[in-house]
Amino acid sequence: MSSQILNSINHQKIEHTPIWLMRQAGRYLPEYREIRAKAGSFLNLCKNPELATVVTLQPLKRFDLDAAILFSDILVIPEAMGMELNFVENEGPKFSNKIMTEQDIDNLDLNDMLAKLEYVFAAIKNCKGELNSTPLIGFSGSPFTLACYMIEGGSSKDYVNAKRWLYNNPELSHKLLNKLSDAIIQYLIKQIESGVDIVMLFDSWGGVLSDAAYLEFSLPYLEKILKNIPQVNHLGSKLPRIVFTKGGGLWLNKISAIGADVIGLDWNINIGEARTIVPANIALQGNLDPVLLAIGDRNALKKEVTRILGSYRAANGFNNTGHVFNLGHGVLQITNPDNVAYLVDLVHELSRA
Ligand code: CP3
C-alpha cells in the first residue's frame, strides 16, 4: 500500500484519512518511561541514536499510525550552539545561561553545531533502516519559538522577557532570529540528506504575538527557512513541508503564502472554514483538542472526530484528501494509550466509509 499521508498531502486518492499525533512518543507510554529511565535523562535519550530509534518506533508498534516523527526536541539546536540545557523534572526545559546581550548572540556558535548534532542524523538513518514504507517526519522549532526559550531561559506564562526584546530592541531581535534561521536551515538540510520524508516547523508560541509582531518576528523567518530548504528528499521525490503556528488560525491567508505544503491547525479553528480560506493545493493537519483524547470519553471522542472529518469533507467537495488527522497540540501525559488506539482506528474507519 502506498503512503496514505504522502498521497493525502499531494491531493491524490487515499483509502483513509492518515493520522499521526504530535508527541506520539512520550511519557504517556509505559515503554517510553522504561527506556527513559534506562537512559538516565530525557537529553541522554535524545543523544543516544539507538535508544532514540527505539522510542521513535514505540508508538508505531502499538498503533496503526501513518507516520513516524523523529524522537528529539526543538531545544537541541540552542544546546548545540553552546547553551547549557537541562530538563528539570516537572518543570520542563531550563537554560542556565540565557540570552541577555548582543554578546550572548555573538557567542552562539554555528561552526560546531552540525557536528554536535550528529546524534540526530544518526538516529534518522537508524529509523529509516527500520521503518520500511512508513514516512519519517523530521522537525525544527521556529526561530521565534526557539528565541522564546533562549531569552526566557525556559517555559514562560506570558513571555514578558521575549516580548521586551521584540518591542525594545527590534534590531537585536532580528539579529538573533536571522542567526537561528541560518542554523535551522543547515540543520534541516542535514536531516533531509539523512533521509527524512517530511519536515515540520513547530512555531508553538507564534500565537502569543500581536498581529504586527507575528508578521514582523515570526512569519518572515518561517518563510526564509522554507525558501532555503529543499522541496525534494534525498532520492529526488517531493518532500512536504508542514508549518504549525499554534494559535495561527487568524493568519491562515498569510501562512498560505510562504511556501508550506501543509498548514497545522490547533483546535480553536473550524477545519472546514480553514479549508475555504487556505488554497486547495495546501493540505491541512489537525485539529482535535488533546484534552478530549486524554479524557477518553468514547462517545464524545467519536462525535468530535466525526464532526472534524465531516467538516473537512464538506468543505473539500466531499473528498477526504488533503487532510492529515492530528491533535491541535501534543498528546498529554495523562492520556491512556488505549484511547490513542481507539482514535487511530476510528479515524481510519470513519474516513474509509
Ligand atoms: O512529537 C514527538 O513525538 C516527537 C518528539 C518531540 C518532543 N518534543 C519530545 C519531548 C517533539 C517534536 C518535541 C517538540 C517540542 N519541544 C516543542 C514543539 C512542540 C510543542 O509541544 O509545542 C516544544 C515547545 C518543545 C520544548 C519542550 N520539550 C518542553 C516545553 C518540554 C517539557 C514539557 C513536558 O512535557 O515536560 C520538553 C520535553 C519533551 N520533549 C518531552 C518529550 C517526550 C518530555 C520529556 C520527558 O521525558 O520528561
What's the angle, vertex CA 136, arms to CA 261 and CA 199, rounded to 5? 35
Q: How many CB atoms lie within 10 A of CB 34?
A: 11
* Cα-to-centroid distance, 208 and ligand 1 (Å): 18
**Ligand 1 proximal residues by C-beta, below 6 Å:** 22-27, 36, 42, 69, 71-75, 87, 92-93, 139, 141, 155, 202, 204, 330
337-349 b/e with 16+ CB inside 10 Å = b?
Answer: bebbebbbebbbe
Q: How far is it, in rounded angstroms, from Cα 180 to Cα 175?
A: 9
149 counts as catalytic: yes
3-state secondary structure of 284: strand
23 counts as catalytic: yes
Which residues make Cβ contacts (< 8 Å) with residue 223, sequence separation at least 6?
258, 259
- pLDDT for res 299: 97
For 73-129, what is each residue's pLDDT tens digit? 999 999 999 999 999 888 899 999 999 999 999 999 999 999 999 999 999 999 999
Tens digits of pLDDT across the chain (353 residues): 479 999 999 999 999 999 999 999 999 999 999 999 999 999 999 999 999 999 999 999 999 999 999 999 999 999 999 999 999 888 899 999 999 999 999 999 999 999 999 999 999 999 999 998 999 999 999 999 999 999 999 999 999 999 999 999 999 999 999 999 999 999 999 999 999 999 999 999 999 999 999 999 999 999 999 999 999 998 899 999 999 999 999 999 999 999 999 999 999 999 999 999 999 999 999 999 999 999 999 999 999 999 999 999 999 999 999 999 999 999 999 999 999 999 999 999 999 97
Q: How many CB atoms lie within 10 A of CB 33?
A: 13
Nearest CA to ligand 1 atom 42: 26
Give the pairing of strands 262-264 and 323-327.
Answer: unpaired
* Cα-to-centroid distance, 297 and ligand 1 (Å): 25
The length of the chain in residues reads 353
Q: In the chain, what percentage of residues exceed pLDDT 90?
A: 97
Is the pTM higher than 0.75? The answer reads yes
3-state secondary structure 68-81: EECCCCCCHHHHHC
Q: Which CATH number do you get for residue 98?
A: 3.20.20.210
- pLDDT for res 149: 98
Q: How far is it, in rounded angstroms, from Cα 291 to Cα 289?
A: 5
What is the total count of domains within the chain? Answer: 1
* Cα-to-centroid distance, 198 and ligand 1 (Å): 19
Mutate to test the pocket of ligand 1, among 53, 60, 69, 74 (most ligand atoms within 8 A of CB): 74
Verify cis geometry, omega within 30 degrees of 0, for the bond prior to 168: no
- pLDDT for res 76: 98
Helix residue ranges, H only, 153-242: 160-168, 170-194, 211-217, 219-228
- pLDDT for res 88: 86
Give me the domain span that covers residue 111.
4-352
